[in-house]
Amino acid sequence: MERADVVVIGAGVMGTSIAYHLVRRHAGRIVLLEKETVCSGTSAKSSAIVRTHYSTRPTAAMALLARRMLERFREDAGGESGFRRTGMLFIGAPAEADGVKKTVEMNRELGIESELITPVDVRRIDHLLEPADGAPLVWEPRSGYGSPHEVASTYARRFTELGGVLRQAAEVTAIETTGGRVGGVATPVTRIAADHVVIAAGPWAQRVGQLVGLRLPVMASRQSIVTLRPRFAYDDGHPIVADLANEVYFRPETGNLILLGNTRHGDDRPGDPDDYQDRPDAGFVEDVVTRLSRVMPASAEAEIAGGWSGMYEISPDWNPIMGTVSAISGLHYCVGFSGHGFKLSPAAGLLMAEQVVDGRATTLDITPYRLERFEEGRALKIAYARAGVIA
Ligand SMILES: Cc1cc2nc3c(=O)[nH]c(=O)nc-3n(C[C@H](O)[C@H](O)[C@H](O)COP(=O)(O)OP(=O)(O)OC[C@H]3O[C@@H](n4cnc5c(N)ncnc54)[C@H](O)[C@@H]3O)c2cc1C
């Protein structure tokens, strides 16, 4: 039978990052199995925003580590990430001003460049923007956006160049265990014995967990993006904006487009990541475009250019689920990134490689993300009531 030291299940931004960091750690024979192709899952649908404004301390720390890794991606990973620095303006809901202030203080303690600014500053940053009266305003000069395809394909290429084995069209259909230890995996055509198995299956996490009787509380939920073609020039000179007063986020997109998404959560419904409508509903488009025009009035004249839908992989507290299964040694999970995993993927891969090789992550502590937190009543607390995706 084929043998591996580690099998990684899923080749989105997470699985490719984990696999790459494992070969960098000389963790033996690493096999990365993907049921479709590299970066074909939720990573392909991402808005790819890279920010550090997080109200959850460990996630803010992970976002900072990851953004620094994206800034030096070529030197570290040997390829492109598509990272472009635009800065990000965060507009809080007026009722949540205290939470925003505390988040900025905590972010700054971690070394994140973040400051509370005024409406006059906003006009200087982007004259098109008119934030709601009384909304707290935060400027993050080092934020931007990247390219999931470039990140995943760089990690996958370097992984194979460094001796890793990548198999596409290879769906894991069984995870084998013996005596409280993981034994390996099976696909329809082969069995691979392995000392370690890492589940990085994005919105399919729950299904892959079920293969071994593991309950991973990850809800796949459809989310839509609209692109708009404005009549004015709109390029990377404009910042990313997350506006919780109007519950939208947006950024420049290639081709003079505005990429527009929704931050209104709480009524998200479970969906099937293998069978969903891959385009926004007309009602959603009208609603989200109206909300955008409140913060960027000039956008009211913009044409609808297109859009798509993808699947968030929502955990109960909108934060990642990372660690090792306590009842099955050698079985690890890196899932539940809740619509904000692209930016975290470089750091998550590094930390999971440490977890597998050293028995615990050392660059940052990932124990707050362990699966057991939900049963122990230690779910992470997020500050923004309806905008789980900001976490
Ligand atoms: C509309 C939208 C906008 C988003 N915007 C942002 C953003 O602005 N910033 C940000 O940071 N994040 C954003 N995200 C979230 C981000 O894209 C995800 O958190 C991230 O891509 C998750 O990566 P992943 O590798 O875990 O999942 P995936 O990319 O889904 O990868 C999992 C892989 O596992 C494979 N797989 C599943 N089952 C099996 C099996 N049995 N055997 C083998 N392979 C299997 C799948 O085919 C898939 O390729 C957004 C997501 C969406 C949908």
> What is the CB < 6 Å shell around ligand 1?
9-15, 33-36, 40-43, 45-49, 148, 171-172, 200-204, 208, 223, 225, 261, 310-312, 337, 339-343
Residue of 16, 20, 43, 352 best suited for mutating to test ligand 1, as the one with most atoms within 8 Å of CB: 43
In a domain, 336, yes or no: yes
In a domain, 76, yes or no: no
Of the three residues 291, 314, 337, the one that is the final residue of a domain is 314
Angle in degrees, 0-180, between the axes of helices 13-24 and 148-161, rounded to the nearest 10: 30
On the 0-12 / 13-18 / 19+ scale of CB atoms within 10 A, 277 is: exposed
In a domain, 198, yes or no: yes
On the 0-12 / 13-18 / 19+ scale of CB atoms within 10 A, 379 is: middle
Ligand 1 atom with minimal separation from the 170 CA: 43
Residue of 46, 54, 64 best suited for mutating to test ligand 1, as the one with most atoms within 8 Å of CB: 46
The answer on 354 and 243 residing in a single domain is no
In a domain, 67, yes or no: no
- Does residue 184 sit in helix, strand or coil? strand
The answer on 172 and 301 residing in a single domain is no
DSSP string computed for 270-335: --BTTB---S--HHHHHHHHHHHHHH-GGGGGPEEEEEEEEEEEE-TTSS-EEEE-SSSBTEEEEE
The answer on 289 and 226 residing in a single domain is yes
The answer on 112 and 11 residing in a single domain is no
- Does residue 87 sit in helix, strand or coil? coil
- In the numeric block, the tokens 């691979």 are attached to 192
The two three-digit tokens of residue 18, written as one number: 């984990």
The answer on 328 and 246 residing in a single domain is no
4-34 pLDDT per residue, tens: 999 999 999 999 999 999 999 999 999 999 9
On the 0-12 / 13-18 / 19+ scale of CB atoms within 10 A, 87 is: buried
The answer on 239 and 124 residing in a single domain is yes
Output the CA 231–ligand 1 centroid distance in Å: 33
Q: Which of 279, 283, 370 is nearest to 323 (CA)?
A: 370
Other residues' Cβ atoms within 10 Å of the Cβ of residue 308: 14
The one-letter code for the residue type at 11 is A
First-to-last C-alpha distance (Å) of the chain = 44
Output the CA 331–ligand 1 centroid distance in Å: 20
In a domain, 57, yes or no: no
Of the three residues 294, 314, 334, the one that is the final residue of a domain is 314
The answer on 378 and 349 residing in a single domain is yes
Total tally of structural domains belonging to the chain: 2
**What CATH number should be reported for the domain holding residue 121?**
3.30.9.10
Output the CA 220–ligand 1 centroid distance in Å: 10
- At 266 the pLDDT is 79
Q: Which of 291, 278, 382, 342 is nearest to 82 (CA)?
A: 342
Output the CA 202–ligand 1 centroid distance in Å: 5
Output the CA 43–ligand 1 centroid distance in Å: 4
Output the CA 206–ligand 1 centroid distance in Å: 13
Output the CA 372–ligand 1 centroid distance in Å: 23
- At 383 the pLDDT is 86
Ligand 1 atom with minimal separation from the 311 CA: 53
Per-residue pLDDT of the chain (391 residues; tens, 9 = 90+): 899 999 999 999 999 999 999 999 999 999 999 999 999 999 999 999 999 999 999 999 999 999 999 999 999 999 999 999 999 999 999 999 999 999 999 999 999 999 999 999 999 999 999 999 999 999 999 999 999 999 999 999 999 999 999 999 999 999 999 999 999 999 999 999 999 999 999 999 999 999 999 999 999 999 999 999 999 999 999 999 999 999 999 999 999 999 999 999 877 999 999 999 999 999 999 999 999 999 999 999 999 999 999 999 999 999 999 999 999 999 999 999 999 999 999 999 999 999 999 999 999 999 999 999 999 999 999 988 777 778 8
**Separation CA 17–CA 175 (nearest Å):** 21
Contact between 159 and 71 under an 8 Å Cβ cutoff? The reply is no
**Separation CA 71–CA 114 (nearest Å):** 17
- At 387 the pLDDT is 77
Q: What is the largest CA-CA distance in the chain?
A: 67
The answer on 119 and 160 residing in a single domain is no
In a domain, 164, yes or no: yes
The answer on 129 and 256 residing in a single domain is yes
- Does residue 345 sit in helix, strand or coil? helix
Of the three residues 273, 291, 314, the one that is the final residue of a domain is 314
- At 301 the pLDDT is 94
**Separation CA 79–CA 248 (nearest Å):** 32
Output the CA 218–ligand 1 centroid distance in Å: 12
The one-letter code for the residue type at 174 is A
**What CATH number should be reported for the domain holding residue 182?**
3.50.50.60
Partners of residue 137 on adjacent β-strands: 91, 117
Residue whose Cα lies nearest atom 25 of ligand 1: it is 12
**Separation CA 336–CA 14 (nearest Å):** 11
The one-letter code for the residue type at 199 is I
- In the numeric block, the tokens 């420049």 are attached to 252
In a domain, 238, yes or no: yes
The answer on 122 and 230 residing in a single domain is yes
Q: Which residues contact 329 (CB under 8 A, 6 or more apart)?
A: 180, 181, 182
- At 267 the pLDDT is 78
Please give the residue range of the domain that contains residue 130.
Answer: 86-142+219-314
Ligand 1 atom with minimal separation from the 15 CA: 25
The answer on 190 and 125 residing in a single domain is no
- At 113 the pLDDT is 98
In a domain, 52, yes or no: no
- At 346 the pLDDT is 98
The answer on 232 and 375 residing in a single domain is no
158-173 pLDDT per residue, tens: 999 999 999 999 999 9
**Separation CA 270–CA 289 (nearest Å):** 24
- At 206 the pLDDT is 98
Ligand 1 atom with minimal separation from the 187 CA: 42
